[in-house]
Amino acid sequence: MRTALIGSNSLTLSTAELLLEEGHEVVIIERDRNRIDVLSERLDAGFVHGDGTLPDVLRDAEPENTDVLFCLMESDQINILAGLIGRSLGFARVVPRVNDPQFQRIAAELGLEDTIMPNRAVAAHLSQMLSGGKSLELSSVIRGNAAIFSLIAKASEKGPIDNLKLPERTRIVCLYHDEQFYLPREVKALKTGDELILITSHQQLPELEQRFERGEAGDQLKAD
């Protein structure tokens, strides 16, 4: 898989290092030439010099040959802008980092459904540690033919949660509603922008991807 990442902050570099360890091709888009010179000594990655929010620079990253564009900079606005430009240029999938819940809703309305919220993920992990719980990696508990699929509810999914007809062997595990964590039985109706986490079987993924317009690169975790 070929991935492109904008910027060179700690999250971007940690992601790049993990992807390289797993054998993926990585391209980093960085505006600071001196920074590129330093990183090229450290990482076996390709580099594009320039501002990652400019179309001409993103074209140099070869969107037609790239599976994912990660926009992991500190600014939510810049990440959303870069994601929209990247999508318009033909990147198969764009993944913007969003820290502020209000921008997460805006990103969903703009069709940028593959947003990530690192602050919320870390906060949930720390909260679980303080309560005495033990956090488990999904890959350690999702086995066999099981898969995890996530989606952001669109306007067409608004309304009673029971109206969301899901394929066989597919259930809602949890959801984030008004930016709060809930179990399915605790929410009567979905709103646009609600995030749902589903557990399903691998055979149901194509139907889910087609229905929710996620494409082959939709958010999913398949068991080994």
> Domain residue spans in the chain?
2-121, 138-222
> Is the pLDDT assigned to residue 196 strictly greater than 80?
yes
Q: Quickly list DSSP for 90-107.
A: T-S-EEEB--SHHHHHHH
- Tell me, what's the pLDDT at 133? 52
User: Which residue pairs from 97-101 have beta carbons closer than 8 angstroms and sit at least 24 positions apart in sequence?
Assistant: 97/11, 97/70, 97/71, 97/72, 97/73, 100/76, 101/179
What number is the average pLDDT over the span 178-205? 84
Instruction: Say which DSSP state 116 is in.
Output: B
Q: How confident is the model at residue 214 (pLDDT cuts 50, 70, 90)?
A: very low
- The mean-pLDDT minimum among 53-57, 81-85, 189-193, 199-203 falls in 199-203
pLDDT in tens, 58-115: 999 999 999 999 999 989 999 999 999 999 999 999 999 988 878 878 888 888 878 8
Q: What is the pLDDT of residues 150-184, one digit of tens each?
A: 788 888 888 998 888 888 889 998 888 776 778 88
Instruction: To the nearest 10°, report the CA torsion of 211, 212, 216, 218.
Output: -150
67 exposed, middle or buried (CB, 10 Å; 0-12, 13-18, 19+)? middle
Would you tell me the crossing angle of helices 76-89 and 101-109 to the nearest 10 degrees? 20
What pLDDT is attached to residue 49? 97
pLDDT at 218: 39
Band of pLDDT at residue 219, cut at 50, 70 and 90: very low
In whole angstroms, give the CA distance from residue 135 to residue 41.
35
Within 27-73, residue ranges assigned H as helices are: 33-42, 55-60
CATH 3.40.50.2300 holds for 2-121: no
Please say whether the beta carbons of 73 and 99 come within 8 A. Answer: no
Determine whether domain 138-222 maps to CATH 3.30.70.1450: yes
Give the pLDDT confidence score for residue 215 in this predicted structure: 37
